[in-house]
Amino acid sequence: MGQCQLSVLIITKNEAHNIKACLESVQFADEIIVFDSGSNDGTPDICQQYGAKITVTGDWPGYGLQKARAYAQARGTWILCIDADERLSPALQQEIQLAIKDTRYSAYQLPFVSSYCGQKIYFGDWYKEQHMRLFKRQQYHFSKAIVHEDLVYIGNPCPEKIGQCTAPIYHFPFPHIDSVLKKLNQYSASGAAQKYQQGKRASLWTAISHGIWTFIRGYFIRLGFLDGRAGFMLAVSNAEGTYYRYLKLMWLHEQNQVQSTPKT
């Protein structure tokens, strides 16, 4: 078995409409590992056509633990974590191949250009968006967070210098309004469950105030209005997601109190 320099990790469920473009953008990698949570739209078959190592699971433990499963199968010195609705730009493909030969860094931040309902977003809560997605396998691992997982440095202290790529990942999280509503419900439920596990609490006022602040921050403070109609739509949907996350957290506590109250 030859040397494996770069492993790509992807988690999927029913991503047949996205996965081809994603896989085509990472064909330069030494191995592609896909963990699928029970797709019924042919996603695993497409992944196999592109040479990916596919594992189908019957459960969903959350983003952090699912990515950790894929991570455990990787052989590469470097790992690139990418989602099915993301594609590496051609320039970033070349940049990554050079970056993993640079001995100065153990991880890299990658810039994102995200689209909302067909329009690229440059301001608001997505202004200068970047994430650490490229890292040395033996120096980082994924947190166990249900949603919005982080990379955790193995050892102490954490290195001060993280590399910076300049070419972007293109991200297409919300191609249409239906996808906005579907993901708003999914992410608000996952976010509420995570806060519940952390012992956080919420009230109706918490939900309202956090939702209002999210809109003000994204649309006015971070200049979301400069993205026109799509900027307003994004600020509203982000505010809704925040509102429902805290509302669901309030509901989780209320339901738990009802279930734990002894019957007389």
The pLDDT, as a whole number, for residue 257 is 80
pLDDT exceeds cutoff 60 at 115: yes
pLDDT exceeds cutoff 70 at 206: yes
The pLDDT, as a whole number, for residue 161 is 83
The pLDDT, as a whole number, for residue 3 is 81
pLDDT exceeds cutoff 60 at 251: yes
The residue among 124, 154, 173 that closes a domain is 173
Contacts of 254-262 with CB under 8 Å at 24 or more apart are none
96, 214: one domain:
no
Read off the amino acid at residue 232. Answer: F
- Which residues lie closer than 8 Å to 34 by C-beta, 6 or more apart? 10, 11, 12, 44, 47, 52, 53, 54, 55, 70
The pLDDT, as a whole number, for residue 177 is 96
Over range 145-155, report the average pLDDT.
91
In a domain, 1, yes or no: no
Among candidate residues 67, 218, 60, the one with its CA nearest the CA of residue 132:
67
The pLDDT, as a whole number, for residue 180 is 97
CB neighbour class for 118 (10 Å; exposed up to 12, middle 13-18, buried from 19): exposed
The pLDDT, as a whole number, for residue 263 is 64
pLDDT exceeds cutoff 60 at 214: yes
182, 246: one domain:
yes
35, 154: one domain:
yes
CB neighbour class for 130 (10 Å; exposed up to 12, middle 13-18, buried from 19): middle
The pLDDT, as a whole number, for residue 205 is 98
Residue 19: pLDDT band by 50, 70, 90 thresholds?
Answer: very high
Over range 186-199, report the average pLDDT.
96
| Structural domain count of the chain | 2
Residue ranges making up the domain that contains 221: 176-260
pLDDT exceeds cutoff 90 at 258: no
Residue 130, sorted as left (phi over 0), alpha (psi -120 to 50) or beta, turns out to be beta
- Which residues lie closer than 8 Å to 16 by C-beta, 6 or more apart? 39, 41, 42, 43, 46
pLDDT exceeds cutoff 60 at 1: no
| pLDDT mean across residues, the chain | 95
More confident: 45 or 261: 45
113, 195: one domain:
no
pLDDT exceeds cutoff 80 at 2: no
182, 121: one domain:
no
- For every residue of 155-202, DSSP letters joined together read SSSPPS--EE--SPEEEEEESSHHHHHHHHHHHHHHHHHHHHHTT---
pLDDT in tens, 57-89: 989 999 999 999 999 999 999 999 999 999 999
In a domain, 84, yes or no: yes
pTM, two decimal places: 0.92
Compute the distance between CA of residue 185 and CA of residue 110 in angstroms, rounded to an integer: 27
Compute the distance between CA of residue 232 and CA of residue 38 in angstroms, rounded to an integer: 35
pLDDT in tens, 158-184: 666 899 999 999 999 999 999 999 999
The pLDDT, as a whole number, for residue 259 is 74
The pLDDT, as a whole number, for residue 139 is 93
pLDDT in tens, 218-245: 999 999 999 999 999 999 999 999 999 9
Compute the distance between CA of residue 103 and CA of residue 105 in angstroms, rounded to an integer: 6
The pLDDT, as a whole number, for residue 262 is 67
- Which residues lie closer than 8 Å to 216 by C-beta, 6 or more apart? none
CB neighbour class for 29 (10 Å; exposed up to 12, middle 13-18, buried from 19): buried
More confident: 264 or 19: 19
Cα 216 to the chain's mean position, in Å?
24
First to last CA, the chain: 67
141, 182: one domain:
no
119, 243: one domain:
no
Q: What is the CATH number of the domain that holds 86?
A: 3.90.550.10
The residue among 129, 149, 173 that closes a domain is 173
The residue among 141, 173, 205 that closes a domain is 173
55, 141: one domain:
yes
32, 150: one domain:
yes
109, 240: one domain:
no
Cα separation values, 164 from 102, 142, 248, Å: 12, 20, 37
